[in-house]
């Protein structure tokens, strides 16, 4: 993972989640807990973006104009399966 400008923060986690972070770090060969948290945040952001795109596809699907059919919803479904 390339290093970019960062800020140090303090995070309090229940022991169960801290154990999971450490186990994940070890299983995936990551060098720090911070890397695990960055990956988790990235996954949350991607899920949020995907839901936004799904909503956009639903909105377009309700449009009466044929040119609006972008196939976005089908593409998102394929991404979820992949």
Residue 25 above 90 pLDDT? Answer: yes
* Within a domain: 64: yes
Provide the pLDDT for residue 71.
65
Residue of higher predicted confidence among 47 and 1: 47
Asked if residue 1 is part of any domain, the answer here is: no
pLDDT at 19 over 70: yes
Domain count, the chain: 1
Per-residue pLDDT tens digits for 30-79: 999 999 999 999 999 999 998 888 888 777 777 766 555 556 667 767 77
Greater pLDDT, 74 or 20 = 20
The DSSP line for 52-71 is: HHHHHHHHHHT-S-GGG---
Averaged pLDDT, 25-32: 98
Q: What is the largest CA-CA distance in the chain?
A: 54
2 found inside a domain: no
Please give the Cα distance from 57 to 69 (Å, whole number): 8
Domain, as residue range, for 52 = 15-81
């Amino acid at each position: 993972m390339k290093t970019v400008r960062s800020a140090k923060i303090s995070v309090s986690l229940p022991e169960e989640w801290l154990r999971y972070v450490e186990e994940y770090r070890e299983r995936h060969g990551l060098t720090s807990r911070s890397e695990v948290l960055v990956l988790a945040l990235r996954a949350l952001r991607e899920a949020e973006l995907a839901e936004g795109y799904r909503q956009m596809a639903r909105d377009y699907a309700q449009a009466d104009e044929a040119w609006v059919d972008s196939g976005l919803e089908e593409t998102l479904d394929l991404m979820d399966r992949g």
